[in-house]
Structure formats: structure tokens, C-alpha cells
Amino acid sequence: MSLIGISAELIRRAVVDEGYSQDLRDAIAADQGALEGLVYEDIVEDELGWLAPSEWQWFAHWRQSMGGPLDETILRHLSLAAVTRYARFNLRGLVMRDQRTNELAQEAEPRQTHDDLGLRWLAAEAQTVRDSMEVVRDALEHATEASWFTLRVLTSIDHVHGVEVRDELREFAAQRQLGAEIMHRWGM
């Protein structure tokens, strides 16, 4: 179990105060047990009540900045809570900027099942979200290998959404005079 319960108040303060954020970073860096408990331990459902969704979002980014992995419980919780455009953009960005996900994304095939949480989450997001163009815009904005993987998933869909995505990406590339190499990385 992680140390969320005993760290929740400091996390809440760190969300709104950069000084507390630095204090949290310094305290964790100096204590291997705290580092393990907050940065690397899995979060369990029972811990979700300790923080509000916006605080979990901040914590997930902070944890990532400390070298921690994505957490399935946090991603699921934030996915359910992400009702605003801003929240969805930040959530996708969390995964699209994840180091491990980016390391695996370049070679990842869009139609395969993936063991990596980040790739699996991005593929599911691309295949199930109602507004494919929102995902396209987010991927283009973040512009990482994981973003290009997401676009490959979207362009591989044999459905009207896949056609719309391919048309939008062609237009985007033409307007910016992007070459064939980048379009190939998008699965086109």
C-alpha cells in the first residue's frame, strides 16, 4: 500500500503552493521508504477518497516527474472524473508524456494488444472515445512518440472515424508542409 493516507494533507498543500511542492519533493528525495511508498507503490481503490480528482491529477504528474510509473487505479479514476476539455487534455498528456510509454511507442503496432499500461490506455482511448478529433488535436499538441502511436491507432480504424482522422491529418500535414516521414509515423 502507498503512503497516500499519511501524505494527503501535504499533497493538498503542494497542489496550491509551490513551496510545499518543493518541500514534498525534498522530503521524498531524502527518504528511500517515502520515495518507494509515494512514487513507486501501486495505488488501491480505498485510497482514492484521500484526494480530489484535481489533486490526483497533480499527484500523478508529480509522481511522474519523480520517475514513477503510471498507475492503473489513478488513470481509471481520472478517466471517470475527466468531464472538462481541460481535464481530458491533461489526462491524455500524462500518458502521452510518460517515459516508458514513449520508449515503447515507436515500435508498437496499433492493432496489437499491449502489456504496457500507457500503450494499452492510449489504444483504448483512441478506439472508444466519441470525439476522435479531440484525441487527434491532443496528440498533435503533445507531439511525442506516444502521441504518434495514438494517431496510428486512430488511422488504423476501419470506420468512418478512421477516414475522418486520416483526412484531417492529411490537411494538417499539407497546411504545414510536413513530409512523408511524419505522416508515416502517424500510420499513413
Residue with cell 488504423: 156
How confident is the model at residue 39, as a pLDDT?
94
* 75-131 tens-digit pLDDT: 999 999 999 999 999 999 999 999 999 999 999 999 888 899 999 999 999 999 889
More confident residue, 40 or 34: 40
Q: In the chain, what is the greatest distance between 2 CA atoms, to the nearest angstrom?
A: 53
pTM of the model: 0.91
Look at the chain and count its residues: 188
Percent of the chain topping pLDDT 90: 82
pLDDT average, residue stretch 171-179: 94
DSSP character string of 18-65? HHHHHHHHHHHHH-HHHHIIIIISPP-GGGGGGS-HHHHHHHHHHHHH
Inform me whether the pLDDT recorded for 41 exceeds 70: yes
Collapsed DSSP state (helix, strand, coil) of residue 143: coil
Question: How does the average pLDDT of the chain come out, rounded?
Answer: 94
Cα 55 to Cα 93: distance, rounded to the nearest angstrom: 16
Percent of the chain topping pLDDT 70: 99
What is the 8-class DSSP label of residue 172?
A: H
How confident is the model at residue 162, as a pLDDT?
86
Inform me whether the pLDDT recorded for 1 exceeds 80: no
- Domain ranges (residues) in the chain: 1-81, 85-188
* 139-166 tens-digit pLDDT: 999 999 999 999 999 999 888 788 999 9
